[in-house]
Structure 1
Amino acid sequence: MFCLVGFILFGILGIFSATHRELAKEAGSCVFRRVTFRPCIVTFREKFKGMILSKLINRTPLLARIFNKYFELLSWIFILLSILSIIWVGNSVWNYYAYGSCNGLNASGFCVFDPTGKNNQISAIGEECFAEAPKESGLSLKDVDLSLFPHTNVGAKNEIVFIGCYSCDYTREAYPIINNLLDKYSVDYVFIHFPVKTETNYLTAYGYCVQKEDEGKLRLFNDLIFSSEKSAIANSSFTDGIIQSLGLDVEEIRKCTESEEIKDRVFEMLEETKQTSIYGTPTIFINGEAFVGPKPERVYKRALNK
């Protein structure tokens, strides 16, 4: 087993040193002999063991004696730790590819591939934007009546329910990624504006009335809202300009948003959204699976039926 230890050690050190590359070759030859049920070359074993003992004996004779006595056992321990480390790194790489986090879906612990944690950033409900999501808790569409919300492409083989806030940076980061998927795949799409910032509360009614007036205009309305400055969309006069640019009657949309029927519907939609146990935006359900925070496009694509 010492030859495998040597192969790993000198293989790494050989990247930086020609001397260690030669030792790595000897160790590799030794590994090959062992896997083909032949004894390792004794000279390499003694050379490898001697290199370590020479360092230890001048500093800690007791440690040198222990190392010499338990050399084979220590070699096995090193190999076991190396294998476990490789498995752990491999699992982290897979998690990052599949979920955008080394720690798994919606997990916000440190990830060397995403040190800033940007793939899990959210705006908390009733809070300002912040970088670390709280613990995930039972996100589900099970008890939600989606028929209350505007749909596009009803009956498609995929379903995306996007819960976001027009003025949240993290929703704004995820929106174009989801938009790109809508252009590529067959998707029954529901966008739910869940206002984290109070200055955009009025936009929920605007979006609903746009859909009611012209079903094909809601996505265009969302595109224009998300591409506008956050400070601008806090002003209803600016939004009226967007309504006008869509070819809709501003006065009719205003009347719609101010009606008691629509106010009741908006309240009902917001209360229904809370049934998902949402704790921050964006929260995106793709075919029932919840994704919290803006993920790389590849993560969302894996949840789609191609």
Structure 2
Amino acid sequence: MDLSGKNLAVLAIIFVLGFAAGYAVNYGSKEKIEKSSLSEIEEKVVNFVNTNLLKPGIEAKIVNVSEEDGFYVFDLEFSKDGNTLGYDSVYVTKDGKYLFIGKFDLSGEVENEKAEKLIDVENEPWKGDPNAKITIVEFSSYDCPFCAKFALETLPKILQNFSVKVVFKDFPIHGEVKAHEAANCAGEQGKYWEYHDVLFQRQEEWRKNESKLLEYAKELGLNVSEFEICLNSDKYREEVLKDKEEGIKLGVRGTPTFFVNGKVVEGAKPYEEFEKILKELEEK
């Protein structure tokens, strides 16, 4: 692993369903693990994660194994009652002794160009100027009150005062995948952003009663029958979870997280902070 200059990185625990301080986990004696095969390490990883890191009822399974910077990388799928909640990756040293989740650059510098290339914005909902030289990609959760604050208060000011293209990426935090699917179903009928705003405006309502998702479709004048068929088909579930997986790989740890021309901006910053960032980019 390259530990020099801007590539210096630290591995830290980041759970799909919560966060913890960074540390490495020694989950077995060195003598035993040195003799372990990869398949035995896989078994130890799954047992450790399920027993020690997840809430009751949530299970992890390995969906892919690869190597990166001298580590084994185990891609995990998290599920509850047969429903996929999300994905994350754990890193294990080649001797099988230490387990980590997540990787951070300690230099404080963001590889903007790399982030821009990694983010897939094709066929994603967007608004603003399609030819703008500034693109804001937001990883957001409809269940997140800070995301609602950005969507309803800060975003309108940005769009009013700057030429930007804003792209929305799904990052459900608490299992509210259905709300994200519903927005995509509304998008089929040309009402993505209207439905997006309603979900944020009435968070408390649909959190308690998911049937409200159909009511919102009716209120917005959608063909409710077509909307319901779309929603019940789970046709957008894979797409929603793919967005989240992409965010995790980019280092997204919570919502909202923004990539402004590739530069990471975390949290619901006040408009004034976005104004400063956007003015600097306009002057370049």
- TM-score w.r.t. structure 2 length? 0.54
Aligned amino acid, residue 159 of structure 1: T
1:187-198 residue pairs with structure 2 within 5 A?
A: 187-198=164-175
1:43-192 residue pairs with structure 2 within 5 A?
A: 125-127=16-18, 137=105, 140-153=115-128, 154-175=130-151, 176-192=153-169
Kindly state the Cα deviation for residue 259 of structure 1 after the two structures are TM-superposed: 3.0
Kindly state the Cα deviation for residue 266 of structure 1 after the two structures are TM-superposed: 2.8
Kindly state the Cα deviation for residue 280 of structure 1 after the two structures are TM-superposed: 0.9
SS at match of 1:295: coil
Kindly state the Cα deviation for residue 188 of structure 1 after the two structures are TM-superposed: 1.4
Residue identity (%): 25
Who wins on radius of gyration, i.e. which is larger?
1
Equivalent residue for 2:251, pick from 273, 277, 292:
277
| Map of 1:250 onto structure 2 | 224
**C-alpha contact 1:149 1:269 (8 A) present in aligned 2:** no
Hey, which of these two has a bigger chunk of strand by percent? 2
| Map of 1:38 onto structure 2 | none
**C-alpha contact 1:161 1:191 (8 A) present in aligned 2:** yes
* Aligned-residue CA RMSD (Å): 3.0
SS at match of 1:280: coil
1:159-238 residue pairs with structure 2 within 5 A?
A: 159-175=135-151, 176-198=153-175, 200-214=176-190, 217-238=191-212
In 2, Cα distance between equivalents of 1:224 and 1:180: 18
In 1, Cα distance between equivalents of 2:205 and 2:157: 25
Kindly state the Cα deviation for residue 234 of structure 1 after the two structures are TM-superposed: 4.5
Kindly state the Cα deviation for residue 141 of structure 1 after the two structures are TM-superposed: 4.0
In 2, Cα distance between equivalents of 1:180 and 1:135: 34
| Map of 2:238 onto structure 1 | 264
Q: Deviations over 1:90-138 (max 9, x none)?
A: xxxxxxxxxxxxxxxxxxxxxxxxxxxxxxxxxx84128xxxxx99656
In 2, Cα distance between equivalents of 1:230 and 1:218: 20
SS at match of 2:222: coil
Kindly state the Cα deviation for residue 207 of structure 1 after the two structures are TM-superposed: 1.3
- TM-score w.r.t. structure 1 length? 0.51
Cα distance change on mapping 1:253 and 1:148 into 2, 3 Å: same
Aligned amino acid, residue 121 of structure 2: L
| Map of 1:90 onto structure 2 | none
Aligned amino acid, residue 251 of structure 2: S
**C-alpha contact 2:136 2:164 (8 A) present in aligned 1:** yes
In 2, Cα distance between equivalents of 1:209 and 1:265: 12
* Structure 2: tracts of 5 or more residues without a match: 1-14, 20-101
Q: Deviations over 1:245-297 (max 9, x none)?
A: 11111221121233364333333333233332211111012222111112121
Kindly state the Cα deviation for residue 192 of structure 1 after the two structures are TM-superposed: 1.9
* Structure 1: tracts of 5 or more residues without a match: 1-123, 129-133
Aligned length: 178
Kindly state the Cα deviation for residue 196 of structure 1 after the two structures are TM-superposed: 0.8
Hey, which of these two has a bigger chunk of helix by percent? 1
Q: Deviations over 1:29-79 (max 9, x none)?
A: xxxxxxxxxxxxxxxxxxxxxxxxxxxxxxxxxxxxxxxxxxxxxxxxxxx
In 1, Cα distance between equivalents of 2:235 and 2:170: 18
SS at match of 1:156: coil
Cα distance change on mapping 1:168 and 1:267 into 2, 3 Å: closer
In 2, Cα distance between equivalents of 1:248 and 1:257: 13
In 2, Cα distance between equivalents of 1:294 and 1:260: 30
| Map of 1:299 onto structure 2 | 273
